[in-house]
Amino acid sequence: MTVYLVGAGPGDPSLLTLRGAEVLASADVVVYDRLSVASLLDLAPPNAERISVGKQPGGPRTSQEDINALLVARGQAGQQVVRLKGGDPFVFARGGEEAAALAAAGVAFEVVPGITSAVAVPAYAGIPVTMRYSSTSFTVVTGHEDPAKGEGSVNWEAVAALGGTVVVLMGAVRCRAICDRIIAGGMAPETPAAAVQWGTRPNQRTLRATLATLADFDPQPPATIVIGEVAAADLAWFENRPLFGRRIVVTRAQPQAAAMAAELRRRGAEAIELPAIAFEPPEDHDRLARAAAEAGSYDWVVFTSPTGVARFFEHLRDARSLGGVRVAAIGPGTAAALADRNVVADLIPEKYVAESLLEALSNEVGPERPGRVLIPRAETARDVLPDGLAAAGWDVDVVPAYRTVAPAPDPDAAALLADAEVITFTSSSTVTNFTDTYGTTAVPEVVATIGPVTSATTRSRGLEVGIEATDHTVDGLIAALEDYFTR
Ligand code: SAH
């Protein structure tokens, strides 16, 4: 079998190559470093072995010889091994030594190049490493050797003399000595210089200075240092996204939490998925099956959540039985779930709450007699809609389609919630479950809700509501967050 030396890119998990994702997906073993992003490790099969060889806080670092031996042994054992390394495996990453050890042992290996931080981190800070005419070369140098001792093999004078862009990796700690040596080598002290910390990650921070002053800003690792005219370029885009760097907790059920988190990340947020709700089959699941079998006997089927749609359609054997039935959705999310199943909602109320749905349905019926209505929904829910319809003379069938439960507390919750700025609540049950599970003191400073009902529940727990969506959808909530942070 083969050992793959895979470049993981500088941090943003979406900068992994397609080939990298492909070999990870069929790995038996993943050997990774401490800074590896968890979501990349998730690309390996669940039962793949994951071995950390990075220095753990307080623990020992696995020596390079031991890593080489481990790769050789696993390769010889016939396993598909992925050695995941930050950036590119052959740029200051000792991938060359690992490949040499594998070659010497006769173990087949492949190299999957990665996007190196030397180029990608400046790019995420809005700094192009070359510019036509002004910066015609870029030199990537290790800052690992102590330039003050003069014992290293980096020829800093030559680096300075070359004149193009200088990119220093592993140089944060020795920043002052490095800049001093480059100045001594003849580069002007006022040459623009930048240090990009935690590049491509939600906590990216760019320090902008000159060669003479950069060290005063005390850059912290991991940082990529860029020296040269280009370092004055401020084509910032990554750090300018509306929710950049905001730690926002998502409490929706999975898989909706992942979808919402992805939308938040697209806007630059550091989204934390901590579902406060999960869906299970209802206690009496035969009722839904029976109602679905008789779907054609109703005048209306009214859906109040995407989950209700999903469960109902699991039981609907023949789509044609909905042929003569009119269908209502409480809002666009529910309507989208219907559209996914090729059903176009006949009615979506103006406001996406039960009161509005009740009003819209009452207006629909006109002078003829109110009909039979099926409402497949959560086992426990507000009775505004069924009670209102019944009072208006409708024949109402409320059928439990699912049960919302509080998931087991996440053991990492305290760490995930630390420094979180905002928590989003998309329903009353996310509020009650979250506060029951973690307590109100665990709630981050700003609470953002999807609408007035969820806000009322939030306040009933003694919490303030900082942001309330005007459009009561997840998109509306995200828009409200953007509005709040760009104002
Ligand atoms: N093989 C890697 C480099 C490994 S050396 C690559 O090709 O990118 C480790 C150094 O890379 C760090 O000290 C830092 O200078 C740089 N680096 C790695 N990740 C970084 C990040 N997210 N932001 C800034 N610099 C980073």
Q: What angle do CA 109, 113, 118 make, to 5 degrees?
A: 140
Cβ neighbours for 380, distance < 8 A, ≥ 6 positions apart: 403, 404
Question: CA nearest 225: which of 201, 249, 202, 199?
Answer: 199
Centre of ligand 1 to C-alpha 365, Å, is: 65
pLDDT for 354 equals 84
- What CA–CA distance (Å, rounded) separates 327 from 346? 5
- What CA–CA distance (Å, rounded) separates 163 from 181? 14
- What CA–CA distance (Å, rounded) separates 41 from 47? 11
- Quick check: 472 and 353 in contact, CB under 8 A? yes
Residue nearest to atom 9 of ligand 1 (CA): 170
Centre of ligand 1 to C-alpha 330, Å, is: 49
pLDDT for 349 equals 92
Based on the residue annotation, tell me whether 286 is a catalytic residue of this protein.
Answer: no
Per the residue annotation, which of 1, 28, 170, 395 is the catalytic one? 170
Q: What angle do CA 154, 155, 161 make, to 5 degrees?
A: 135
Is residue 84 classed as helix, strand or coil in its secondary structure? strand
At 61, list the tokens: 């670092």
pLDDT for 57 equals 59
pLDDT for 70 equals 96
pLDDT for 151 equals 61
DSSP strand pairing (467-468 vs 446-449): parallel
Sign of the torsion angle spanned by Cα atoms 441, 442, 446, 451: negative
Q: Which amino acid is present at 51?
A: I
Based on the residue annotation, tell me whether 149 is a catalytic residue of this protein.
Answer: no
Sign of the torsion angle spanned by Cα atoms 278, 284, 286, 289: negative
Cβ neighbours for 416, distance < 8 A, ≥ 6 positions apart: 249, 272, 274, 410
- What CA–CA distance (Å, rounded) separates 219 from 198? 11
Is the CB of 62 within 6 Å of ligand 1?
no
pLDDT, averaged in runs of 10, over the chain (487 residues): 95 95 97 84 95 74 91 97 96 95 97 98 97 91 78 86 94 96 96 97 94 97 96 93 95 92 94 93 89 93 94 93 93 94 94 85 73 91 88 91 91 91 94 95 96 96 96 94 93
Residue 37 C-alpha from the chain's centroid: 11
- What CA–CA distance (Å, rounded) separates 467 from 296? 42
Question: CA nearest 241: which of 208, 212, 268?
Answer: 268
pLDDT for 149 equals 67
Residue 226, H or E segment: strand 223-227
pTM score: 0.79
Q: What angle do CA 236, 237, 240 make, to 5 degrees?
A: 95
Centre of ligand 1 to C-alpha 288, Å, is: 55
pLDDT for 399 equals 95
Centre of ligand 1 to C-alpha 168, Å, is: 9
Cβ neighbours for 66, distance < 8 A, ≥ 6 positions apart: 53
Is the CB of 121 within 6 Å of ligand 1?
yes
Is the CB of 92 within 6 Å of ligand 1?
yes
Based on the residue annotation, tell me whether 170 is a catalytic residue of this protein.
Answer: yes
Cβ neighbours for 107, distance < 8 A, ≥ 6 positions apart: 3, 71, 72, 75, 76
